[in-house]
Amino acid sequence: MRPLPVFVTVLLTAALAYYIYIPLPDAIQEPWRLMMLDAALRTTMTLAAVKSWLGLGHYIHTIRRSTEGMESILRPGSSGGGVTPGVRVSDVTFAGVPVRVYEPLAGGDGHLRRGLVFLHGGGWALGSGKKGSYDMVNRMLSDELNTVVVSVEYRLYPEVHFPVQYLDCLAAAKHFLSPEVLSRYEVDPERVGMAGDSAGGNLAAAVVQEISSDDGVSVKFSVQALIYPVLQALDFNTPSYLQNQHIPILYRPLMVRFWLQYLSADLSLESQCLENNHSSLDHPDISPEVRARLDWTVLLAPKYRKKHKPVIVDKGSPGKTVQLPGLLDVRASPLLAGPEVLAKCPRTYILTCEFDVLRDDGLMYARRLQDAGVEVTNDHYGDGFHGCFSFAVWPFDFDLGKRAVRAYLNWLKDNL
């Protein structure tokens, strides 16, 4: 072989390895698989941003098309309805909101079945409960636990912003909880749960708070399962945000961007939010009482606080605070809800991951719920990273993802 082709091959290989490699904590298992997955996601997002810059469509639309195309290649026909072993799948609407319903074929056998509303993640902009691991896990749950699962296809950014995503989920949940609908699906009104991951966990927590406090809703959720939920947008400098800001697949700036998009805010405020300028001490609407509800120096155990110090800005940039509508709305930030609201919430499961910027959101919510008298199971993964729950099915299956899914199913089996 001639020297030049060899040199070029070596150079390209080295460049590819440099692009893929990122330093990861030793505790993370299967690191190279995570690096490869992250590189693919970064490439997709970069190409989407370039197309958007060239005026060839919104970058979110490009990402959706890319992920849907990959899904159709890797799992052809996997997202369709109909009947699969043990489960009947149908796409219908609840209160005008598209949902996918999974019904166990075994039926109730004379006994009422469990019910579960599931809300997928994706930064309020991406994802679908009909795709990938979400679909597979819901089929598995329906079959194994004899449960009617309702996966809500709420509207997404950029077509809509807060509070539309929340309102879609609330409408679908209320419809399912109505006695007539529960009776039609043979679901026990005492055994209906709510679940969601990431942004879906945010929506799940907010919907549960609203329904738990609404005297007009006769049937309440008996449990909620929140998978690494995002729960507040006031402090982007918690220990987990700083510790894990460079850990895939949810980087700190990306989470801030998801929030700005959701709240219909100016995306140029990203740097202000990263510095906590948007929640400075001179913010006229953030009272000491509200700040105490996400005071991680009190709510987190020392092993999570470590040596981090709170990032508190005395005076924010002029005019910036008014450009974040919904910042203090508990429908967007469930962690800010008062103790009287939290006390009405049902038994709760919260999955948190050590290497996730959202770790502390989940840990603080678990502590506040416990302080309000709610029974909470916090399933913490010392080797976990954000998104692992979605990586339990080939070809993106991690042992961590399989363990997380099984723990979630086992908890629901014992508590729902």
pLDDT in tens, 179-205: 999 999 999 999 999 999 999 999 999
Predicted local distance difference test score (pLDDT) of residue 82 = 59
Question: CB under 8 Å to 176, separation ≥6 — which residues?
Answer: 94, 115, 117, 150, 182, 192
Just list the catalytic residues. Answer: 198, 356, 386
Name the pTM for this structure: 0.94
Question: CB under 8 Å to 336, separation ≥6 — which residues?
Answer: 232, 234, 290, 293, 294, 328, 330
Q: What phi and psi values does residue 191 have, to the nearest 5 degrees?
A: -135, 55
Beta bridge partners of 127: none
Fold classified for 85-230+338-413: Rossmann fold (3.40.50)
User: From first to last of its 416 residues, what are the pLDDT tens digits of the chain?
Assistant: 566 665 555 555 555 566 788 899 999 999 999 999 999 989 998 888 898 899 888 999 999 988 776 665 555 555 565 557 889 999 999 999 999 999 998 766 668 999 999 999 999 999 999 988 999 999 999 999 999 999 999 999 999 999 999 999 999 999 999 999 999 999 999 999 999 999 999 999 999 999 999 999 999 999 999 999 999 999 999 999 999 999 999 999 999 999 999 999 999 999 999 999 999 999 889 999 999 999 999 999 999 999 999 998 988 766 544 468 899 999 999 999 999 999 999 999 999 999 999 999 999 999 999 999 999 999 999 999 999 999 988 878 999 999 999 999 999 999 99
Residue 409's region, left for phi above 0, alpha for psi from -120 to 50, else beta, is alpha
Number of Cβ within a 10 Å radius of residue 180: 7
pLDDT in tens, 68-105: 766 655 555 555 655 578 899 999 999 999 999 999 98
Predicted local distance difference test score (pLDDT) of residue 314 = 87
pLDDT in tens, 235-255: 999 999 999 999 999 999 999
Predicted local distance difference test score (pLDDT) of residue 87 = 95
DSSP tag of 261: H
Structure tokens belonging to residue 4 = 């030049």
Predicted local distance difference test score (pLDDT) of residue 24 = 94
Amino acid sitting at position 222: S
Contact (Cβ atoms closer than 8 angstroms) between residue 79 and residue 135 = yes
Structure tokens belonging to residue 80 = 């369709």
Predicted local distance difference test score (pLDDT) of residue 395 = 79
